């Protein structure tokens, strides 16, 4: 049986931190589904479609990786995919609180689905989508944090081209 893990997230936008989690997931699972969440309550700067298209463009052709988008509860999406694992990344203690609550909540709803965490890498642990957006708004060089198409999309979105 193929071991499939769903890596859900806002990816607003996708960063080198997210890509690191994908890499680590690829070393463990047969397939990673990078699942872009359409959750509106987070007020993303990129629409779900834009975040999905960006992730697809960056990860296209990567063996063992599929990019998809979903709305609604993550566990429902995971079940629809026939997967049993949710993959998430942990950077810091502040991630831990939220991530643990979410994992326990999801386990309560779907006991057959396990959340697996990978530890952030030293080189990318400080990268967050929120700080990348702040750096973009301040006109900083984004090349250490995000792939070139994302930097370009941020510049366009913020009217900096
Ligand atoms: P969400 O809104 O679902 O938290 P994010 O796109 O912010 O979506 O994050 C998706 C997942 O990726 C989370 O588990 C988050 O902790 C993880 N992540 C984000 N940045 C990094 C990073 N630099 N290193 C490791 N994991 C990360």
Q: How does residue 159 score in pLDDT terms, banded at 50, 70 and 90?
A: confident
Q: How far apart, in whole angstroms, are the C-alpha atoms of residue 65 and residue 119?
A: 19
Closest CA to 67 of 147, 8, 132: 8
- HSE-CB for 50 with a 13 A CA cutoff: 13
Gap from CA of 89 to ligand 1 centroid (Å):
6
Give a yes or no: residue 57 inside a domain.
Answer: yes
Give a yes or no: residue 56 inside a domain.
Answer: yes
The pTM assigned to this predicted structure is 0.96
Instruction: Say if ligand 1 is within 6 A of residue 118 CB.
Output: no
Nearest-CA residue for ligand 1 atom 4 is 9
Give a yes or no: residue 160 inside a domain.
Answer: no
CATH number at residue 80: 3.40.50.620
Total number of domains constituting the chain: 1
Q: How far apart, in whole angstroms, are the C-alpha atoms of residue 92 and residue 20?
A: 15
| Residue 161 DSSP code | -
pLDDT per position as a tens digit, 99-148 = 999 999 999 999 999 999 999 999 999 999 999 999 999 999 999 999 99
Determine the residue of 15, 21, 128 to mutate for testing ligand 1's pocket, defined as the one with the most ligand atoms within 8 A of the Cβ atom: 21
Enter the tokens of residue 133. Answer: 């957006």
């Amino acid at each position: 049986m193929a071991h499939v893990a769903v890596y859900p997230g806002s990816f607003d936008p996708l960063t080198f931190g997210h890509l690191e989690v994908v890499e680590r997931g690829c070393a463990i699972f047969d397939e990673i589904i990078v699942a872009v969440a359409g959750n509106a309550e987070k007020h993303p700067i990129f629409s779900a479609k834009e975040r999905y298209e960006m992730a697809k463009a960056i990860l296209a052709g990567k063996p063992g990786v599929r990019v998809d988008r979903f709305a609604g509860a993550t566990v429902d999406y995971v079940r629809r995919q026939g997967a049993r694992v949710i993959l998430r990344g942990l950077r810091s203690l502040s991630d831990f609180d939220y991530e643990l609550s979410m994992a326990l909540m999801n386990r309560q709803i779907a006991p057959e689905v396990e959340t697996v965490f990978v530890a952030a890498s030293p080189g990318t642990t400080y990268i967050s989508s929120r700080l990348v957006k702040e750096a973009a708004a301040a006109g900083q060089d984004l090349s250490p944090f995000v792939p070139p198409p994302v930097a370009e999309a941020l510049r366009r979105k913020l009217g900096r081209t």
